[in-house]
Structure 1
Amino acid sequence: MRYQLCIIGAGPSGLLLGQLLARAGIDAVILEAKSADYVRSRIRAGVLETGLVDLLHRAGCGARLEAEGLVHHGFTLAFEGRSHRVDLAALTGGKSVVVYGQTEVTRDLMDARVATGAPTIYEAEDVTLHDFDGERPRVTYRKDGTTHEIACDFIVGCDGFHGVARRSIPEQSIKLFERVYGFGWLGLLADVPPVSDELIYCRHARGFALASMRSQTRSRYYIQVPLSDRVEDWSDAHFYEEFRRRLPQDAAARLVTGPSIEKSIAPLRSFVAEPLRFGRLFLAGDAGHIVPPTGAKGLNLAASDVHYLSAGLIEYYGEKSCAGLDAYSARALSRIWKAERFSWWMTSMLHLFPETGDFGARMQHAELDYIAGSPAASTTVAENYVGLPF
Structure 2
Amino acid sequence: MEKSILFVDDEEQILRSLNRLFLDKDYQVFLANNGKDALKILDTENIDLIISDIKMPTMNGYELLQKVKEQHPKVLRVAFSGYTDNNKIVQALENNLAKLYLFKPWSNDTLLSIIDKIFGFEDILRNKNLLNLIHNLDDLPTLPFLYQDLCTLIEKDAGIDEISKKIEEDQAISSRILRVVNSAFSSSKTGSVKDAIMYLGLSNVKHMVLSNSVFLSTQLNPFLTDLLWKHVNLTNRMVIFIYKKILQKKVPKTYESAGLLHDIGKVVLLNNFHEKYVKIFKRTILEPKLNIADLEKEVLGVNHQEIGAYLLDWWEIPHPIIESALFHHNPTDPRIINKELVSIVHIAGTYSWKFLDHTQFSNNQNEGAFNLLNIPKEDFEKALLELKL
| TM-score exceeds 0.5 | no
User: TM-score, normalised to structure 2's length?
Assistant: 0.27
Larger relative contact order, structure 1 or 2 (CA cutoff 8 Å, min sep 6):
1
Higher strand fraction (1 or 2): 1
